[in-house]
Amino acid sequence: MNKITITTLGRMKAEGEKIVVLTSYDASFARLSEQAGVDVLLVGDSLGMVVQGHESTLPVTVSEMVYHSANVARACERAMIVADMPFMSHGTPQQALDTAGRLMKEGGAHMVKIEGGAPQVETVRHLTERAVPVCAHLGLTPQSIHQLGAYRVQGRDAESATRMIEDAADLQAAGAQMLVLECVPTLLANEISRNLDIPVIGIGAGPDVDGQVLVLYDMLGISVNGIPGFARDFLSGAEGIPDALSRYVAAVRSVDFPAAKHSF
């Protein structure tokens, strides 16, 4: 069983093979997801909402992210593990390095994910120059919910779309090796994906990117906060959770998901 690495994901992008990403927070779901063929397990700070019951991701701590990442890492043999850098854990490059060090050394993550555009470029450079692989995150950035005011699509107007294109290029130049686009119009996501050499993973960003990610509980239709419009309940009609996970993998690989109704 060959381990998934950033080199694997780069080859998949080059060959047009869709990358399957799913959030994971514990050993049991991590093992089932890996067995279903999920390539990347994202230990998301979304756990603050779907596991802990908070109204946002903001209360999640670094220690909680380390704990959940370690749970996932102990169950995996093949999948690549990416861990979110939680809110207020990367305010300076040095703080970001300290947080990333814990997520990788104690939590077993292979890569860390940081939300934000231009203000994060120097932090991304600081990390990648010190052997920390980074996944950037643009579009809807949940840690900025109090600035955004609502969970809504980003990049609809020309100015914000241009800024997102520029931020994506700058983050890649700073060393980011993967990018997540959340709640971004399909045409804009497609342009960003085509312009970058690194894999671009979408969530509510249409089908024309290099892969897809969903929150596990959304994909199973069991999120306590309701299912977002860009998600699909794969447990509905399935023969259980393993079958639902396999259906998700197959749907992403075949570009059956996301459909137009899951896109903007």
pLDDT tens per residue across span 76-127: 999 999 999 999 999 999 999 999 999 999 999 999 999 999 999 999 999 9
Strand partners, 211: 19, 201
Is 182 catalytic? The answer is yes
Q: Report whether pLDDT(1) > 70.
A: no
pLDDT at 233: 97
Query: Phi and psi (nearest 5°) for 184?
Result: -125, 140
pLDDT at 77: 96
- List domains and CATH numbers for the chain: 6-262 (3.20.20.60)
Residue by residue, DSSP assigns 141-204 as -GGGHHHH-SS-----SHHHHHHHHHHHHHHHHTT--EEEEES--HHHHHHHHHH-SS-EEEES
pLDDT at 142: 75
Q: Report whether pLDDT(170) > 80.
A: yes
Confidence of residue 70 (pLDDT cuts 50, 70, 90): very high
Provide the 10 A C-beta neighbour count for residue 166: 12
pLDDT at 145: 57
Q: Which of 34, 64, 166, 182 is catalytic?
A: 182
Note the pLDDT tens digit of each residue in 55-66: 999 999 999 999
Q: Report whether pLDDT(8) > 60.
A: yes
pLDDT at 148: 57
Stretch 152-161: mean pLDDT, rounded? 87
Q: What percent of the chain has pLDDT over 70?
A: 97
Please provide the average confidence, as pLDDT, over all residues in the chain: 95
